[in-house]
Every structure is written in structure tokens, then in C-alpha cells.
Structure 1
Amino acid sequence: MSILRNIFIRFSKQVETSDHQKDSSLNTHYYKATFNQLFQSIEDLFRQDADCRIATVSKDHGEIAVEINKPISCFLIVTVVTVRPMETAVDFNISSEKFSPIGLYPILRKRLISYYERINKLHTLVRVGKSS
């Protein structure tokens, strides 16, 4: 049953981070920063990325929608939420309509991990996973 599940996951065209992921690298990341600091850093990160175009920014909802052109075209929603003073969570939801004979999940997963790594260089990571 596990092999069949892994095959379905591999061909998934959508990857989402959350506190309830079995894959720990896709768990929500919590940073020592205010909402405004983190939101601005993330917005700047995507504005400076030549492969990305910010489609919409909704600071009121804590969301940034990004169109990604390379290596495959996909759509990303970044959600930034204040958990407590000086602790802010970041989650991603990425999807694509493209098809790949080897499956898109590994490519999309790698992309999300790289975004977390880039944010980790800008802000202090408090923890990965469930909010206490």
C-alpha cells in the first residue's frame, strides 16, 4: 500500500506546507520576527527573483500570490501569520497544471524547501512544526 501511495504522491501537482505534514521538511516554519518584517522580506525575495512575478499582495490576509516561470510554470501562495509577538509563521501552497513523466511533486517540494532556506538566511528560525 505504501508503494502505491508514494506513486500517487510523486504525480501530485500540488504541494502544501503545514503543521500536519508527514514530511518534516514541509512543516510550517516559525520565525522570530514581526508580521511586517517577515511579510516585507518575503515580498522583496519574490520581487528580486527573475523567475517570479508577484500576481497579488494582500497584507490584510497575509498572502502573496506568485507566478513562477522556471524550471516549470507554477503558482504559489505564501501565507504569513502572526502566532505571538515576535513569532510569525510561514506556509506555502504551490501547484502546477504541467505534466511530467517523472512526476512534479519532487520538483515542487524542492522549490518550497529552497524558499524556506532563503528565508532562514534573512530571519531567525524559531522552530519547524507545530505551534505550542
Structure 2
Amino acid sequence: MVNILTRFKKQIETSDRNKDNALKTHYYKATFNQLFQSVEKLFHDDADCKVTTVSKDHGEIAVEINKPIPCFLVVTIVSVKPLETAVDFNISSESFSLLGLYPQLKKRIESYYERIGRLHNLVEIRKNV
């Protein structure tokens, strides 16, 4: 459940330390190059997205999203083992919504993780111990 203050946040970042399991770093069974190419293609093929910057050296892809709400997304891809690669998202918007943007931004991240999961096997989502 989203509390009233969280609901109005305009920025979400996934990480291993996030309390919400849906917003934890996802680890996939793939090499860095395989996953990076898949994610880059995923955003290039999406009509609502415009890839603005690609930095393979830093493992980052920056994307402008037009619909349903204008927002900016940075995807970070990091190889942690030879066949295990992590994906994190940082999404933000300057838009305003009376009902708050957090639920829409979270839904966007969940859908991207789901789409990547269709292309690569999910190894794990690390739980807090």
C-alpha cells in the first residue's frame, strides 16, 4: 500500500535495498552485451520512447518517455557474474497529478521488468535479510 506522502513522489529508483520487492534490482541470466542490446532494442522499438543517450562503457541508457505521462528514465545495466547481469531503473517526471505520480511510475518500471523477463530468464530478486 502506498502512503499519502509516497504517492506524490515524482522519482523512483530501484535498488537491492528498496523495501518494495517490485522495485528491487532484478538479476537476469545473460551476459552484459546480450542484456544491454536487448534493453536498448526494447526502448528503440517502443513508439512512446526516445533513446537520448547510450553509454555502453557506463552501462547506461537514457530514455525520454512521452506517454502516458512525460518522464525521463535511466536504465543501468551491470554484469555481476559471467552469466548474471543486474538491471536498475531511475525514473522521474516533472508532471503533476492530483492523485500522485508514484503509482504510474511504479507501474512503468514493473512493465519494463516484465518485458525484459520475457527476453531473459530472471535469476533472482534479492530479498532483505
Structure 2 length-normalised TM:
0.96
Between the two proteins, what is the percent identity of the paired residues? 71
TM-superposition CA deviations, 1:26-77 (whole Å, max 9, x none)? 1000000000000000000000000000000000000000000000000000
Equivalences for residues 1-132 of structure 1 within 5 A:
6-129=3-126
Q: Distance in 2 between matches of 1:124 and 1:22?
A: 23
Deviation at 1:19, TM superposition (A): 0.3
Deviation at 1:8, TM superposition (A): 1.1
Secondary structure in 2 matching 1:57: strand
Aligned AA (2:80): V
Q: Distance in 2 between matches of 1:83 and 1:12?
A: 30
Unmatched 5+ stretches in structure 2: none
* Runs of at least 4 residues off by over 4 Å: none
Q: Distance in 1 between matches of 2:126 and 2:88?
A: 11
What is the number of equivalent residue pairs in this alignment? 127
Q: Distance in 2 between matches of 1:9 and 1:83?
A: 31
